[in-house]
Every structure is written in structure tokens, then in C-alpha cells.
Chains A and B, each alone.
Chain A
Amino acid sequence: MTRQILHVDLNSFFASVEQQCHPHLRGKPVGIIKSFGRSCVIASSNEAKQLGLKVGMSLTEVKSLCPTITLLPADFPKYADVTHRFIDLCSSYSNQMEIFSLDEVFLDVTQTSHLFGGPLLLAYDIQQRLVTELGDWLGCSIGIAKNKLLAKIASGMAPKRSVFVVNNSNQAELLARAPFDEVCGIGFRLTRRLRIMGITSLPQISATPLKKLKAEFGPFWSKELRRIAKGQDNSSLITVDDLPDAKSVSRTYTLFKDTYNSREIKALIRNLVEEACFKLRQMGLVGRQFGLSIRGNHLSQGSYLTTKTFTDDSSFVFNQIYKLFNSFHWSHPVRFAGVWISLLTRKNYLSLPLFKKEQRKAKLLQAIDSLNQAYGHHTLHPASMLSSKIIRPEVNGYLGDKQFLLKFSI
């Protein structure tokens, strides 16, 4: 039986939600910035895209390209709520659903489409319900194909708010027209290397001798590129229940301005560690490898250390990571910091703490987490964080820390 896979993609997600909230912005160019004081756009409306605005452009470029643009700060809790409702809506059509990002899901409707009159009518139903239940300005493009790869290319190539069905008669044409940035698996670097070889389309990859591809990309990627170019994809959907335990948790933050202030830097690192460890504890995981990355003044440094024992204790992790920072002898300003914890395992795989001190510490962490869950993140926080504005958790479009966000947060 041929599989029926839908890729549902909310059009210009962040900007459309803002236009839904503010009717006077509809039909006008809108750019989303992370917050006031940030220097680039992270999303834009269809109207802005038509004027040539691209994600990542600086505000100076944006203003010169589109002087009338309205710039709004991102409201991640609002987008997460819309995502939650979008996921609920999509899950009513099939239990085989993969949440690909904040605004994209794959649905395998092979077993359920007949209940809705076939995959095409099902897709129209999703579009209709999205408008009536989430908002009349929120539209989605849907690609329907026999696998995830083709369905995603199809939704990307489809005009806004439309449905694109890929079948045997139009598959070759779709693949021939698909630009590399619409093809999942071919990223920026591969695109650049392919261009150097004079390859700019998928049929050209198919036509290139495997030997030549192997010489450039190695045995793995040469075969992968060939597979992608033919539109082949046997991968199954990864539902929330199928998600494996996280392999690492991380948190990064870019400051609004450079700082040399050691108290501010310490507070920043502590803040990031607190959030990463909170995620770890919520997922019932513990880790024993701790990493730090620092940037500033166009320089960067990163390192990690590994301990013998697993932990989810933020004080312990912070002490390890701050030791790392001190070992950097960083004499430049700090603009960015990122912390990560890896070599994770489930806490319930470990033996219970033997000593009173450790038992008390575990209870204390539990109490702190309960209070923060009841009254909001960082209601209780270490004194070292008092010297700076608290950085709160936020959701990013690509669902970083997917396991935490999908199973424990959204």
C-alpha cells in the first residue's frame, strides 16, 4: 500500500500570529525581532518576504529594503500556545504524527484518510479548521506524497495556503524545480560544495557519476545525495512517544552588549546552568559531562570536562563550568555564553544516595523545583543571579531540546 504522508507547514508562522492579533498589520510588511535591542530579524510576514526580506538580515538592511516595515518583539509563549493548538488539531487526523518544528508537522494518514474522503479532502479540512479554530489569518501549505522528503519539498513549493499532491506523473518535474534550500538534507554547506562542482539541481546530482560524487563527498554522502535526488525516503515518522531520551541539554544566550563585568558573566553562566539542570531534572536525567562556550570580540573559546559521577545538581554543575571559564583566562569582553550537559542517563538507573547530605540536597532541589513550578521559573534562584536581569526559558523555532519541550513542557 502506498503511504500517504502530509507535511503541514504554517505560513510565516510568527508574523502571521502577530498579524492575527493585530488586524491593522494584516497585508503589511512585518518583521519579528527577538526583543527590542536585537539587531536582526528572526521571522517576517509574506508581505515582507515579497519585498526581499530574509531571516537573519540586520535591521539596517531591513529598514533600507522596506522603510515602512513594522518590527515586533517575539512572544514565544504565545507561539508555543498556537503550536500546542496546531498539534492538537493535526493529531485528530492520525496518531502517526511527527512534530518537526514549532510550525511543521508530518502526518501519516495512510490508515485514516478514508475517514475524511481521501488525503486531499483531509488536507482541505485541516486548512479550514485552522482558519476557524486558530484564526482567519493563519494559513498553512500542505504537501502530500508517498514519503516525508517529497511531502516537505511539495509544501515548500506550494503557493501559500494551498495543497500540492505529488504523484508519479509530477514527481520528476517537482524534483527538477526544487531549489536546494527546499530539500531536507541538503544544507548550506552541501549546496555550496555542489555549486562549486557546477551542480544546481537534483536531476544534475542523479546524472553525476557516483564515482565523482564519492570523490567529493565520501561514501556516505554520495549515496545520500543520490537517494535524495531520486526523491527516495523510507524513513518512518518519529512520534513523541518514539523520541529517545535526550543526549544532551543546553542553553545559550547572547547579551545585548559586551561585558567585562565578572559578576555579570558569573550570573549569566549560573542562570544558563540553572535552566539546563532544571530541564535535566524534569526529564529524570543526570549527566557527567559539562561544557561551556564563550564568545566576544569576534573570538570564541569552548571546552568541557567529564566527572566520574552523574548529577543533576545545578550548584555542582555550575562549579564545574565556572572552573572551566576561569581556566580560559578570558581577557576579552563576553557577548555570548552557552552551556551544555551530556553523557546523560536516567536518574532511576542509579542507586539512591547513601549519605544524609546528598539525600538532603536532592530534597532541596525537589522543593526548589516545586516552588518554581508553582510560582514561575526562577522565583527561587541563587544569590549570584541577583546582579543581573534574569534570563527566562524560551522556545526556539527549531525545537531545540525537543524531548524536553514536547514531553515535559508544551
Chain B
Amino acid sequence: MFDIINQSIKVQAQFDKGQLTPICFTWGQAEFSVDKIVFNHHRRLGQAVLSVFSVLSNQITYELQFNNQTLVWQLLKVYDSSNSSC
């Protein structure tokens, strides 16, 4: 159903009026453009605020996370819609 990745990735993002919006990201050698942000939420790790984005790129859902203390982006999970049992 989904693969846990937990790898640091490069992300191009826009910071505008307090809003953070990922635009595209590079994972391995491939570049992915963010077609749509379907959901985002925040969670805390101690004092750090983690912004988690569920984004669609070519019909596949990726979960990206930004840590406001370390300024590191991570790719957390990739959801594969072709296999729906976990």
C-alpha cells in the first residue's frame, strides 16, 4: 500500500505570507513536480514544528515533511494506488 522512505530530499518551495508551499522535489535522480497539495498538517517533535504535506505528482501521493528547526525536507512515504492492501 505504501513504502516508507524517510530520506532527505531537495525541495523547491515557496514561502509567502506565512504559507509554505512545496513546488517540486528531487528524489534520487528524478524530479517530481507537485501537481496538487491534497492535505497538510503540523506535528511537533519537541520544539520543532514538522509540516507534513501529502502531495500528488503524476497521480501518485508522496508525503513530504519540513522541519522548521533543521530546515531539512524529507520524503516520508510513497503511496502506490495500484496495490491497495497493506
Contact = CB atoms under 8 A, between A and B. Distances in A.
A155 B45 CA distance: 36
Contacts of A72: 1, 86
Interface string B23-62: 0000000000000001101111111000010101001010
A81 B63 CA distance: 16
Interface residues of B, number: 21
Contacts of A77: 43-44
A81 B42 contact: yes
Given A78-B52, A373-B47, A375-B46, A20 B38 contact: yes
Interface string A16-31: 0100111111001000
**Which of the four size classes fits the interface of chain A?**
20 to 34
A186 interface: no
A77 B79 CA distance: 19
A70 B2 CA distance: 11
A23 B56 contact: yes
A36 interface: yes
Contacts of B56: 23
29 contacts: A17-B39, A20-B39, A21-B39, A21-B61, A22-B38, A22-B79, A22-B81, A23-B38, A23-B61, A25-B84, A68-B84, A68-B85, A70-B1, A70-B84, A70-B85, A71-B86, A72-B86, A78-B43, A81-B41, A81-B42, A81-B43, A135-B38, A135-B39, A372-B46, A373-B47, A374-B46, A375-B45, A376-B45, A376-B46
Interface of B: 1, 38-39, 41-47, 52, 54, 56, 59, 61, 63, 79, 81, 84-86
Given A22-B81, A135-B39, 4 more contacts: A22-B61, A23-B56, A69-B85, A82-B41
